Amino acid sequence: MNLAEVMAGALVLATASSSSLQIWAGSVRAHLTLEQRQQLLLNLDGALLAAQARLHQPLAANPGRDCAAAATAIASTLAEASLPAGVQRQLEVQSGGVWLRLQAESLPLRQRWLDAAALGHCAALDAPTPPGPVEPPSDGESIPPAL
Protein backbone atom coordinates (compact mmCIF):
# COMPACT_ATOMS: atom_id res chain seq x y z
CA MET A 1 0.00 0.00 0.00
CA ASN A 2 1.47 3.33 -0.96
CA LEU A 3 1.16 6.71 0.71
CA ALA A 4 -1.57 7.97 -1.67
CA GLU A 5 -3.87 5.03 -0.79
CA VAL A 6 -3.31 5.54 2.96
CA MET A 7 -4.06 9.28 2.63
CA ALA A 8 -7.24 8.60 0.61
CA GLY A 9 -8.41 6.03 3.19
CA ALA A 10 -7.73 8.44 6.06
CA LEU A 11 -9.66 11.18 4.23
CA VAL A 12 -12.67 8.88 3.69
CA LEU A 13 -12.55 7.78 7.35
CA ALA A 14 -12.35 11.39 8.61
CA THR A 15 -15.22 12.50 6.34
CA ALA A 16 -17.44 9.59 7.41
CA SER A 17 -16.65 10.15 11.09
CA SER A 18 -17.38 13.87 10.84
CA SER A 19 -20.68 13.26 9.05
CA SER A 20 -21.72 10.67 11.63
CA LEU A 21 -20.93 13.05 14.50
CA GLN A 22 -22.96 15.83 12.86
CA ILE A 23 -25.95 13.52 12.40
CA TRP A 24 -25.65 12.28 15.98
CA ALA A 25 -25.43 15.86 17.34
CA GLY A 26 -28.49 16.86 15.30
CA SER A 27 -30.53 13.97 16.66
CA VAL A 28 -29.48 14.79 20.24
CA ARG A 29 -30.50 18.44 19.69
CA ALA A 30 -33.86 17.37 18.27
CA HIS A 31 -34.43 15.01 21.18
CA LEU A 32 -33.61 17.72 23.75
CA THR A 33 -35.90 20.19 21.99
CA LEU A 34 -38.69 17.63 21.99
CA GLU A 35 -38.14 16.94 25.69
CA GLN A 36 -38.23 20.65 26.53
CA ARG A 37 -41.42 21.08 24.49
CA GLN A 38 -43.02 18.12 26.25
CA GLN A 39 -42.06 19.57 29.63
CA LEU A 40 -43.60 22.94 28.72
CA LEU A 41 -46.80 21.20 27.63
CA LEU A 42 -46.92 19.37 30.95
CA ASN A 43 -46.36 22.68 32.76
CA LEU A 44 -49.24 24.30 30.84
CA ASP A 45 -51.63 21.45 31.53
CA GLY A 46 -50.54 21.30 35.16
CA ALA A 47 -51.15 25.05 35.53
CA LEU A 48 -54.67 24.66 34.09
CA LEU A 49 -55.45 21.81 36.47
CA ALA A 50 -54.00 23.72 39.43
CA ALA A 51 -56.16 26.72 38.56
CA GLN A 52 -59.29 24.58 38.51
CA ALA A 53 -58.34 22.88 41.77
CA ARG A 54 -57.74 26.28 43.37
CA LEU A 55 -61.24 27.38 42.34
CA HIS A 56 -62.92 24.36 43.93
CA GLN A 57 -62.04 25.87 47.30
CA PRO A 58 -64.20 28.72 48.63
CA LEU A 59 -63.11 32.15 47.40
CA ALA A 60 -61.68 34.60 49.92
CA ALA A 61 -64.04 37.33 48.69
CA ASN A 62 -67.47 35.75 48.91
CA PRO A 63 -69.49 37.52 46.22
CA GLY A 64 -72.79 35.90 47.18
CA ARG A 65 -75.22 35.47 44.35
CA ASP A 66 -73.74 38.00 41.89
CA CYS A 67 -71.94 36.16 39.07
CA ALA A 68 -70.16 39.28 37.78
CA ALA A 69 -68.60 39.83 41.22
CA ALA A 70 -67.77 36.13 41.43
CA ALA A 71 -66.00 36.31 38.04
CA THR A 72 -63.91 39.24 39.30
CA ALA A 73 -63.07 37.30 42.49
CA ILE A 74 -62.09 34.26 40.38
CA ALA A 75 -59.78 36.43 38.26
CA SER A 76 -58.09 37.94 41.32
CA THR A 77 -57.65 34.47 42.86
CA LEU A 78 -56.06 33.18 39.66
CA ALA A 79 -53.84 36.25 39.32
CA GLU A 80 -52.31 35.50 42.74
CA ALA A 81 -51.35 31.93 41.79
CA SER A 82 -47.76 31.23 40.81
CA LEU A 83 -46.93 29.87 37.38
CA PRO A 84 -44.21 27.50 36.19
CA ALA A 85 -41.19 29.07 34.50
CA GLY A 86 -41.79 30.04 30.88
CA VAL A 87 -45.59 30.19 31.15
CA GLN A 88 -47.53 33.42 30.60
CA ARG A 89 -51.09 33.92 31.87
CA GLN A 90 -53.86 36.11 30.48
CA LEU A 91 -57.17 36.55 32.28
CA GLU A 92 -60.26 37.99 30.60
CA VAL A 93 -63.25 38.62 32.82
CA GLN A 94 -66.60 38.39 31.09
CA SER A 95 -70.10 38.30 32.48
CA GLY A 96 -70.41 35.19 34.58
CA GLY A 97 -66.92 33.80 34.15
CA VAL A 98 -63.28 34.15 33.22
CA TRP A 99 -61.25 33.07 30.21
CA LEU A 100 -57.95 31.69 31.47
CA ARG A 101 -55.35 31.61 28.71
CA LEU A 102 -51.90 30.12 29.20
CA GLN A 103 -49.08 30.13 26.70
CA ALA A 104 -45.46 29.15 26.59
CA GLU A 105 -42.86 29.93 23.96
CA SER A 106 -43.48 28.22 20.60
CA LEU A 107 -46.50 26.30 21.90
CA PRO A 108 -50.15 26.69 20.99
CA LEU A 109 -52.39 28.67 23.30
CA ARG A 110 -54.20 26.71 26.03
CA GLN A 111 -57.43 28.26 27.22
CA ARG A 112 -60.25 27.32 29.51
CA TRP A 113 -63.58 28.96 30.33
CA LEU A 114 -64.15 29.05 34.08
CA ASP A 115 -67.83 29.67 34.73
CA ALA A 116 -68.61 31.12 38.17
CA ALA A 117 -72.01 29.43 38.42
CA ALA A 118 -70.67 26.05 37.32
CA LEU A 119 -67.94 26.28 39.96
CA GLY A 120 -70.57 27.04 42.61
CA HIS A 121 -69.42 30.58 43.40
CA CYS A 122 -72.71 32.24 42.48
CA ALA A 123 -76.26 31.50 41.44
CA ALA A 124 -76.98 31.87 37.74
CA LEU A 125 -79.36 34.80 37.38
CA ASP A 126 -80.59 33.86 33.96
CA ALA A 127 -81.53 30.29 34.84
CA PRO A 128 -84.75 29.24 33.15
CA THR A 129 -87.78 29.55 35.38
CA PRO A 130 -90.05 26.54 35.54
CA PRO A 131 -93.35 26.99 33.73
CA GLY A 132 -96.39 27.79 35.81
CA PRO A 133 -99.37 25.47 36.22
CA VAL A 134 -101.25 24.62 33.04
CA GLU A 135 -104.74 26.11 32.88
CA PRO A 136 -107.41 23.78 31.56
CA PRO A 137 -108.98 24.90 28.31
CA SER A 138 -112.00 27.12 28.86
CA ASP A 139 -114.21 25.35 26.34
CA GLY A 140 -114.30 22.10 28.37
CA GLU A 141 -111.93 20.07 26.18
CA SER A 142 -109.73 17.61 27.98
CA ILE A 143 -105.96 17.91 28.10
CA PRO A 144 -104.13 15.00 26.51
CA PRO A 145 -101.93 13.09 28.98
CA ALA A 146 -98.20 13.81 28.88
CA LEU A 147 -96.00 11.03 27.62
Does residue 90 lie within any of the structural domains? yes
Mean pLDDT of the chain: 80
Comparing 23 with 83, the larger pLDDT belongs to 23
Does residue 130 lie within any of the structural domains? no
Does residue 120 lie within any of the structural domains? no
* Per-residue pLDDT, 23: 92
pLDDT digits (tens, 9 = 90+) for 31-52: 888 998 888 888 888 888 888 8
Number of domains in the chain: 1
pLDDT digits (tens, 9 = 90+) for 87-120: 889 999 987 889 999 888 878 888 889 888 888 8
Does residue 13 lie within any of the structural domains? yes
Range of the domain at 73: 3-115
Does residue 131 lie within any of the structural domains? no
Average pLDDT score over residue span 51-79? 79
Does residue 136 lie within any of the structural domains? no
Does residue 139 lie within any of the structural domains? no
- DSSP for the chain, please give it: --HHHHHHHHHHHHHHHHHHHHHHHHHHHHHHHHHHHHHHHHHHHHHHHHHHHHHTSPPSS--TT-HHHHHHHHHHHHHHS---TTEEEEEEEETTEEEEEEEETTS--EEEEEETTTTTSS--TTPPPPP-PPPPPTT-PPPPPP-
